[in-house]
Amino acid sequence: MIRFEQVGKVYPDGTSAVDGLSFEVAEGELVTLVGPSGCGKTTTMMMVNRLIEPSSGRILVDGEDISGVDPVKLRRRIGYVIQQVGLFPHRTVLDNTATVPALVGWKRARARERAAELLDLVGLDPKTYGSRYPAQLSGGQRQRVGVARALAADPPVLLMDEPFGAVDPVVRERLQNEFLSLQATVRKTVLMVTHDIEEAVRMGDRIAVYGAGRIEQFDTPGAVLGSPATPYVAEFVGADRGLKRLSVTTIEPDDLEEPPVARLDEPVAAAAARLGGTGARWAVVLNGEGDLHGWVAADALWIAGEHGTVGELARRMDAWVPVGAPLKQAFSEMLQHDAGWVAVLDGSRFLGVLTPAKLHEALRRSVDADARGVGRDEVRFDSVADA
């Protein structure tokens, strides 16, 4: 979708910003450009919408060499989100969002209708926020308007330059998550600049790690963290890259332990007998629909003896994550709820639990899979000790 062929840029004062850039962003893919200040990320991005012209090489968008495309027409196909957002202060949020559709000649009513849809999509109720002015929004809300505005004319390509850079870390993480779920539905081809390796690995399907003016490694987050191509990349991704891996390794059904299960309405005696055979010290408790309710301690069942139902002894368990979530989320849930395990659900269906030992094993399998260039499901450890 976006293709760089041996692209270089030398500024008029002789500064060589980038040199010999060749890479491709596939349709619907999100590629992050990450690297220290001044390494040429913004220059790379601004060449795609012709705000900067390359000195050598060529750039193709959708198979077409953009040097022959009228820049104004080109920019209509390319949404642009920048850190300072650049909203018009004297226009309402709705009119700001409707800017590009209005520019490309949509009728006012249709442009505003579309703008309202987009505001809704980025989590801003158009009824509440549509008539406000940018100064009446928080930094995070302004950032959302920036994203809504860039998407308003439904461009196939989105360029984002430090789009979440101006907000505090908590809001930033929320905006990142929101954007990822939005991207899962809109599937734009996205080029995103960041200087933050955490953001790059969280957001990118693939990452381009920049050294001075050139790409040192272009690969998936897992590969960049697991097998840095050069000492420079290893240093840039940091000594704690194993920890960062938690963000990019997802929880698979294979990673889970299957603890004994009891039902809320089950007699205590039946549950106790079943647990007795396994030696387990607790069981997961599900409700009548098979959804997670909580857990019950084996001790509590023994003490209750013949009386009552599991429901009377069960405790709620709020530590859960959806299957496919990053390991980091599971770890964070464990810490937040001070729990030794988290339940993993598929929708509301209980699949199993993730324990610290299983989490470690999943992480090691992913490292091993990357090192061997195979899928994670092909890596097996016989026991945690092997891992």
Ligand X SMILES: Nc1ncnc2c1ncn2[C@@H]1O[C@H](COP(=O)(O)OP(=O)(O)OP(=O)(O)O)[C@@H](O)[C@H]1O
Could you list the residues that contact ligand X (CB under 6 A)?
11, 13, 15, 17, 35, 37-43, 195
> Tokens representing 143?
């950032």
Contact between 57 and 110 under an 8 Å Cβ cutoff? The reply is: no
Spell out a b/e string for 92-122, using b for 16 or more CB atoms within 10 Å of the CB, else e. bbbbbbbbbbbeeebeeeebbbbbbebbebb
Calpha distance 80→103 (Å, rounded) = 15
Q: How far is the CB of 359 from ligand X (least distance, A)?
A: 34
158: β partners: 79, 190
DSSP secondary structure code for residue 186 in this structure: H
Smallest separation, CB 216 to ligand X (Å) = 13
DSSP 3-state assignment of 37?
coil
**Shortest CB 9 distance to ligand X, Å:** 8
- With respect to ligand X, which residue has the nearer C-beta, 25 or 354? 25
Nearer to ligand X, 204 or 294 (CB): 204
Structure tokens at 273: 């007998």
Residue 32 or residue 43: which is nearer to ligand X going by CB? 43
For β-strands 16-25 and 2-10, DSSP reports them as antiparallel
**Helix locations, 204-355, DSSP H:** 221-226, 231-237, 241-248, 268-278, 298-304, 310-313, 327-336
CB of 43 to ligand X, least distance (A): 3
- Nearest distance in Å: CB 51, ligand X: 11
- Cβ nearer to ligand X, comparing 38 with 326: 38
Beta strands in the chain (DSSP E): 2-10, 16-25, 30-34, 56-61, 64-65, 78-82, 157-161, 189-194, 206-210, 215-219, 261-263, 282-286, 292-297, 315-316, 320-322, 342-346, 349-354
Residue 166 beta carbon to ligand X: minimum distance, rounded to whole angstroms: 13
Measured from the CB of residue 191, what is the shortest distance to ligand X in angstroms?
Answer: 12
**CA 93 to CA 202: how far, in whole Å?**
29
Please say which residue, 56 or 329, places its beta carbon nearer to ligand X: 56
CB of 117 to ligand X, least distance (A): 32
Nearest to 152 by CA among 62, 80, 48: 80
Instruction: Supply the minimum distance, in Å, between the C-beta of residue 214 and ligand X.
Output: 11
* Nearest residue (CB) to ligand X, 35 versus 259: 35
Phi then psi dihedrals of residue 206, to 5 deg: -135, 160
Q: Whose Cβ is closer to ligand X: residue 51's or residue 186's?
A: 51
Shortest reach from residue 195's CB to ligand X, in Å: 5
CB-count exposure of residue 175 (10 Å: 0-12, 13-18, 19+): buried
Q: What is the 3-state secondary structure (H, E, C) of 233-260?
A: HHHHHCCCHHHHHHHHCECCHHHCECCC
| Residue placing its CB nearer to ligand X in the complex, 35 or 226 | 35
Within 10 angstroms of residue 124's Cβ, the number of other Cβ atoms is: 21
Which CB sits closer to ligand X, 210 or 331?
210
Residue placing its CB nearer to ligand X in the complex, 38 or 139: 38
